[in-house]
Chains A and B, each alone.
Chain A
């Protein structure tokens, strides 16, 4: 139990995917203008990352590893994740229209979210078990969502700010992201785990 708690705290606070590992910066900057969309994106990422972790774990363990093909897992994962997201998009539209209405527009964006691939890669490298992998990916996604939601709060505030012309838009968002990352460095050492 406490092991899983450590994984969770580690993935959310200490080694936050966005603020510490700098993964998934594109949606972090792209979909953080409004809190509502940030929440939608977070939900979608948590969903996709958890499912993707399960699928990639299976691919790695049962397809690649037996044939000693660890070196092509990046290639395989990209393929699998991209198709998986597409499939989820289509299936969700058919079977869960309300959920699709809420998360739908974010799904295509996740296809290229390196955080999904990153989580799969880390799991692969750690050689962790199935539940551990899935839980880690879930935690990492929650961490991603946490950072995204905080960031969207700040950006909503920044929308009413008046930075110099050359800093408007993404520039000021990057500065803010940097400062946020600086603040999160305070968590370093909180959990002593490889994750």
Chain B
């Protein structure tokens, strides 16, 4: 019995000693801050910062080649934590979420054909421009939902919808959309124009029942041009997110019904 204990203990000691020596003399130096920063990041590996995963961003942060605050998922808290580790000032970031700027559901937007192919917006868009009459509108084949690392986008009634609570603002959907109709907007903004068609009113009406006609009523109702809540591109109203409107009345007064108050969709996760 005693021999057994002695031998096991001896083997253990020798092993421990060897490992300790190895750690002391053979170890390879690595900046300890990399591990600390990685721990401070959310660990979603969404790639929204442009680096391969959180570890990659952490290495770049420590190396000083990346700006702090690029992590939309972690938000302010994360940026502050990272700044504390790195000893630099944090730049404030407002949480941003994706917004699909189209409200042409199956019952409102005109379909010009029967699409028969793979469920992917990019391919559908390359097939005669897609089956939607409006060439600017959401095709509803979920290219954005496919790339969303958080599963925050789902397609309902032929339209992609974003779950605001799940969205981390990584912006992958923005580049995935062949129609470029997804925009990152401040999470605090509540009033949005859900149309992306800059054509003249009659042309928009031809293809969609809820398209923006550029009537400027929203601008008038929100205090006129001076108030600066809206900008216009062609015949399309755009919310100025630097100075977003907050009067819900203008949504109700929109004759085209292309505006909405907080259209973000909640999947009930």
Interface residues of B in 1-59 (CB under 8 A from A): 3-4, 7-8, 11-12, 15-16, 18-19, 22-23, 26-28
| Minimum distance in angstroms from B58 CB to a CB of chain A | 17
Bound Cα distance A75, B12 (Å)? 10
**Contact (Cβ within 8 A) A86 B11:** no
Partner of B11 from the list A59, A87, A91, A97 (CB cut-off 8 Å) is A59
Q: Give the residues in chain A near B23, CB-CB below 8 Å.
A: 90
The segment from A64-72, A123-131, A136-144 found at the interface with B is A64-72
* A76 and B26 in contact, given A67-B3, A83-B18 (Cβ under 8 angstroms): no
Bound Cα distance A63, B10 (Å)? 11
Number of A-B contacts (CB under 8 A): 49
Interface residues of A in 76-120 (CB under 8 A from B): 76, 79-80, 82-84, 86-87, 90-91, 93-95, 97
Interface residue total, chain A, C-beta cutoff 8 A? 21
* A72 and B15 in contact, given A87-B22, A91-B22 (Cβ under 8 angstroms): no
**Contact (Cβ within 8 A) B22 A76:** no
Bound Cα distance A184, B7 (Å)? 41
Q: Give the residues in chain B near A69, CB-CB below 8 Å.
A: 3-4, 7
- Binding site of B, secondary structure by majority: helix, strand, loop or mixed? helix
With CB as the reference atom, state the residue of chain A lying closest to B9: A79
Partner of B16 from the list A59, A63, A64, A83 (CB cut-off 8 Å) is A83
| Minimum distance in angstroms from A194 CB to a CB of chain B | 28
**Contact (Cβ within 8 A) B27 A86:** no
With CB as the reference atom, state the residue of chain B lying closest to A88: B22
* A76 and B19 in contact, given A93-B26, A94-B26, A94-B28 (Cβ under 8 angstroms): no
Bound Cα distance A193, B27 (Å)? 45
Bound Cα distance A59, B3 (Å)? 14
Q: Give the residues in chain A near B12, CB-CB below 8 Å.
A: 79
Q: Give the residues in chain A near B19, CB-CB below 8 Å.
A: 83, 86-87, 90
Bound Cα distance A83, B7 (Å)? 16
| Minimum distance in angstroms from B35 CB to a CB of chain A | 15
Q: Give the residues in chain A near B28, CB-CB below 8 Å.
A: 93-94, 97
Bound Cα distance A37, B47 (Å)? 22
Q: Give the residues in chain B near A63, CB-CB below 8 Å.
A: 7, 11
With CB as the reference atom, state the residue of chain A lying closest to B5: A72
With CB as the reference atom, state the residue of chain A lying closest to B22: A90
Q: Give the residues in chain A near B16, CB-CB below 8 Å.
A: 83
A residues apposed to B, CB below 8 Å: 59, 63-64, 67, 69, 72, 75-76, 79-80, 82-84, 86-87, 90-91, 93-95, 97
Supply 5 A–B pairs (Cβ within 8 Å), ascending by A.
A64-B7, A67-B7, A69-B7, A83-B18, A90-B26
